């Protein structure tokens, strides 16, 4: 299993999905950059999420708030006081560790068994705004996107004509000074979240909690995540935040163990109440029918973008015998079987010969046509089998080959990534055939 992680990390680097950040300077601990294919994969995930949960729903609106907020917001939310992890130091090698992550009471670096007493280490990433580096100018990068949705609640209520139940959604960066980042893009200090704060009447919280759990399960199915690797963990009394009556951690069997992927929490009216008290602004909602004023309660589903990418890549990675080895093709192939909608490249256009100008011209014409509608690549270098393998390895859904016959019959060969089946398709209906196959619900 650990092996799978190494294979995915190496493919990610080799093919331009994800590389270590600042690499030419020796890197920066646990920072990663998304390359040309990684950014497409990540954008496909974020765009589908936005389409599904914001644009297609009339009860959710989106925002894109500043990463740095007034420090009073972090005082009110409790982050400055409580957003911390227990930090201990190994007495032998002085490694700094998160106490709740130490396994078998042993230091992972030197196997030492003695640790200092845990101290609360605040995870907020601090910086200064303005030219003077003093306490008055100290600000923090947001450790979650959620708080700006509460802080902007009144503005949204006043401008968007929403009535309860309704939600505010946001996709964006969050920063945490994690004590022990690691496992590739699983735990970083800079990462992205997709979050919704869904405002309901207190008496209806259970109904909407279940509804969002259902939405999250459907999302995971569509992302291609195996049901058997998922665990819906109800956090027991005493371990949940005091204001929450129910929290479900959605955990996944990563190669390095069962750990959190997403979360769903009922937050009561904790956040709005705190911001109302601290800001002195009235954040209550007025029921348009009864004129009753109250603070709505909140259901918060949260998705990590980078963990979505990681899980999508782990699930997609396949090595298989390739039954129809052609010229230049190895008998084994590595194929990223992404669900078609997240694949960074949908179609590759490959002229069968390189030097025959009519074939190449035709291929370029087909490429010009298809790239208007799909994310496409054009590749004319190397044996055709090798080109198929290159495309399989990045998860390209379809390969279109143009050969001498194309010049006569105006048809091309369409190859399916997963079945490797090839069929002859007339150029006239190529784009519509690809469109149909890409968005066929069975894929």
Q: Give min distance, CB of 38 to ligand ATP, in A.
A: 15
Interface residue with ligand ATP among 79, 176, 267, 346 (CB under 6 A) is 176
Give every strand in the sheet of 297-304, ordered side by side.
60-62, 166-175, 190-200, 297-304, 257-268, 247-254, 230-234
What pairing do the DSSP bridges indicate for beta strands 297-304 and 190-200?
A: antiparallel
C-beta of 89: minimal distance to ligand ATP in Å? 20
Shortest distance in whole angstroms from residue 141 CB to ligand ATP? 13
Q: Give the whole-angstrom CA distance, residue 345 versus residue 191.
A: 24
Lookup: tokens for 80: 């400055």
Residue 263 interacts with ligand ATP (CB under 6 A): yes or no: yes
Note whether 188 binds ligand ATP by CB under 6 A.
Answer: yes
Is residue 406 close enough to count as binding ligand ATP by CB under 6 A? no
Among 40, 251, 269, 306, binds ligand ATP (CB under 6 A): 306
Looking only at residues 238 through 257 of this chain, which bind ligand ATP when binding is defined by CB under 6 A? none
- From the CB of 79, what's the least distance to ligand ATP, in Å? 11
Of the candidate spans 131-139, 154-162, 183-191, 398-406, the one that interacts with ligand ATP by CB under 6 A turns out to be 183-191
Binding-residue pattern over the window 129 to 168 for ligand ATP, x denoting contact by CB under 6 A: ---------------x------------------------
- Own/partner contacts of 140-143, CB < 8 Å, gap of 24 or more, are 140/68, 140/69, 140/71, 140/74, 140/79, 140/80, 141/67, 141/68, 141/174, 141/175, 142/67, 142/68, 142/69, 142/173, 142/174, 142/175, 143/79, 143/83, 143/174, 143/175, 143/176
**Least distance (Å) from ligand ATP to the CB of residue 178?**
5
Would you count residue 346 as binding ligand ATP (CB under 6 A)?
Answer: no
Q: Does 38 bind ligand ATP (CB under 6 A)?
A: no
Strands 347-351 and 376-378: parallel
In the complex, minimum distance from the CB of residue 146 to ligand ATP, in angstroms, rounded to a whole number: 9
For ligand ATP, the closer of residues 306 and 392 by Cβ is 306
Number of Cβ within a 10 Å radius of residue 432: 11
Round to whole Å and give the CA distance between 198 and 340: 30
Inter-residue contact 60 to 166 (CB < 8 Å)? yes
Q: Which of 42, 142, 275, 307 binds ligand ATP (CB under 6 A)?
A: 307
Size of the site for ligand ATP (CB under 6 A): 15
Torsion angle in degrees (nearest 10) through CA of 37, 38, 42, 45: 50
Angle at 428 between CA 427 and CA 431, to 5 degrees: 80
Could you tell me the two tokens for 343?
Answer: 């694949």
Nearer to ligand ATP, 8 or 345 (CB): 8
CB 240 within 8 A of CB 275: no
Beta carbon of residue 87, minimum distance to ligand ATP (angstroms, whole number): 14
Which residue, 143 or 339, has its beta carbon nearer to ligand ATP? 143
Residue ranges that bind ligand ATP, judged by CB under 6 A: 144, 176, 178, 187-188, 191, 193, 260-263, 302, 304, 306-307
């Amino acid at each position: 299993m650990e092996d799978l992680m190494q294979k995915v990390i190496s493919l990610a680097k080799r093919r331009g999905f994800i590389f270590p950040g600042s690499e030419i300077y020796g890197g920066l601990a646990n920072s990663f950059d998304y390359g040309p294919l990684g950014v497409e994969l990540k954008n496909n995930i974020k765009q589908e999420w936005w389409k599904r949960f914001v644009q297609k729903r009339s009860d959710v609106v989106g925002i894109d708030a500043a990463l740095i907020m007034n420090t009073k917001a972090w005082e009110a939310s409790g982050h400055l006081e409580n957003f911390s992890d227990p930090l201990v130091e190994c007495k032998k090698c002085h490694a700094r560790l998160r106490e709740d992550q130490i396994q078998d009471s042993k230091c992972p670096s030197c196997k030492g068994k003695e640790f200092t007493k845990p101290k609360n280490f605040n995870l907020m990433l601090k910086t200064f705004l303005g030219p003077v580096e003093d306490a008055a100018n100290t600000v923090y990068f947001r450790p979650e996107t959620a708080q700006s949705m509460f802080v902007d609640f009144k503005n949204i209520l006043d401008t968007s004509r929403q009535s309860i139940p309704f939600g505010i959604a946001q996709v964006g960066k969050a920063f945490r000074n994690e004590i022990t980042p690691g496992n590739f893009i699983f735990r970083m200090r800079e990462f992205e979240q997709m979050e919704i704060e869904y405002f309901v009447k207190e008496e209806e919280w259970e109904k909407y909690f279940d509804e969002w759990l259902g939405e999250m399960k459907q999302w995971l199915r569509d992302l291609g995540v195996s049901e058997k690797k998922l665990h819906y963990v109800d956090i027991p009394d005493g371990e949940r935040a005091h204001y929450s009556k129910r929290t479900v951690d959605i955990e996944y069997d990563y190669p390095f163990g069962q750990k959190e992927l997403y979360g769903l929490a009922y937050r009561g009216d904790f956040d709005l109440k705190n911001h109302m008290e601290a800001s002195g602004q009235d954040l209550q909602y007025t029921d348009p029918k009864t004129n009753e004023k109250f603070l709505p309660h909140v259901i918060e589903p949260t998705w990590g973008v980078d963990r979505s990418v990681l899980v999508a890549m782990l699930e997609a990675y396949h090595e298989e015998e390739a039954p129809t080895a052609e010229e230049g093709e190895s008998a084994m192939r590595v194929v990223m079987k992404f669900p078609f909608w997240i694949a960074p490249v949908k179609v590759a256009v490959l002229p069968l010969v390189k030097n025959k100008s009519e074939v190449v011209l035709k291929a370029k014409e087909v490429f010009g046509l298809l790239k208007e509608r799909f994310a496409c690549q054009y590749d004319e270098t190397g044996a055709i089998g090798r080109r198929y393998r290159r495309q399989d390895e990045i998860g390209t859904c379809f390969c279109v080959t143009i050969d001498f016959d194309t010049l006569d019959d105006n048809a091309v060969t369409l190859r399916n990534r997963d079945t490797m089946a090839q069929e002859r398709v007339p150029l006239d209906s190529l784009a519509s055939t690809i469109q149909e196959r890409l968005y066929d619900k069975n894929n």
